[in-house]
Structure 1
Amino acid sequence: MATTRQFSSFSDLLATTNKPLLVDFYADWCGPCRMMAPILEQVKQVLKADVEVVKIDSERYPQLSSQYRVQALPTLILFHRGREVQRWEGVQPPEVLIDAIRRL
């Protein structure tokens, strides 16, 4: 399961995370977003301590969605050392995500 963590700001989370951070921008009403849940769980199981997976509800945090130009759901953004390194829109197979994270 994706990590449930409280943070004072998203920029603080980016600044304090030493490993790659995979962020899933989603909405509860989004069918494809629900399809991503088991895929993200699989990514987390395969990579274990090598990645942190965070889900951000785009309806509860519209300012973050806007800041990161999220135009479709789900949008997955991979951050490394506080910078966006890759982005995907729509449902992605676990292999695509795992390969991208491993390349970091």
Structure 2
Amino acid sequence: MELTVEIIINSDEYVLINFKATNCDPCQMIEPTLQQVKNAIGKRIAIYVLDVNQVPNIVLKHKIKSVPMLVLFHKGEIVWQTKEILSKEEIIKYVVEYTN
């Protein structure tokens, strides 16, 4: 699984990943918001949700220290990240800002 995630992160496409944990209530709260973001701008970026316990090497490599953590990648580089719970509009604003 981690190899697949690395391929996705290193692609030419912008990729937004929600790093979460199963027992994290705020992590569950953001998932409907991410679905709304995907519905609004899904053609602009790919959106994935990853459980930190399933991809420990990715978590270490990219220094994910808390959950939920939204990370926008482009060509393997972190373009933007936040540990805040943001609204759909706020997430879209940042994605548009960093993908232009």
TM band (smaller chain): 0.7 to 0.9
Following superposition of structure 1 onto structure 2, how do residues 59-70 of structure 1 map, counting pairs within 5 Å?
A: 59-70=53-64
- The answer as to whether partners of 1:20 and 1:101 remain within 8 angstroms in 2 is no
Task: Determine if the alignment matches structure 1 residue 31 to structure 2 residue 25.
Answer: yes
Contact residue 18 and residue 49 of structure 2 kept, 8 A = yes
Look up the match of 1:13. 8
| Structure 1, gaps ≥5 residues long | 1-5
Q: Would you say 1:94 and 2:74 are equivalent positions?
A: no
Q: TM-score, normalised by structure 2?
A: 0.86
1:78–1:84 Cα contact (<8 Å) kept: yes
User: Percent sequence identity over matched residues?
Assistant: 23
| Structure 2: stretches of 5+ with no match in the other structure | none
Moved over 3 A (4+): 6-9
Deviations 1:18-71 (A, max 9, x none): 432101100110000000110100110110211110111101112211111111
Identify if the C-alpha distance between structure 1 residues 22 and 93 changes in structure 2 by more than 3 Å, giving closer, same or farther.
same
Cα distance in 2 for partners of 1:47, 1:94 equals 10
Structure 2 counterpart of 1:80, one-letter code: H
TM-score, normalization by structure 1: 0.83
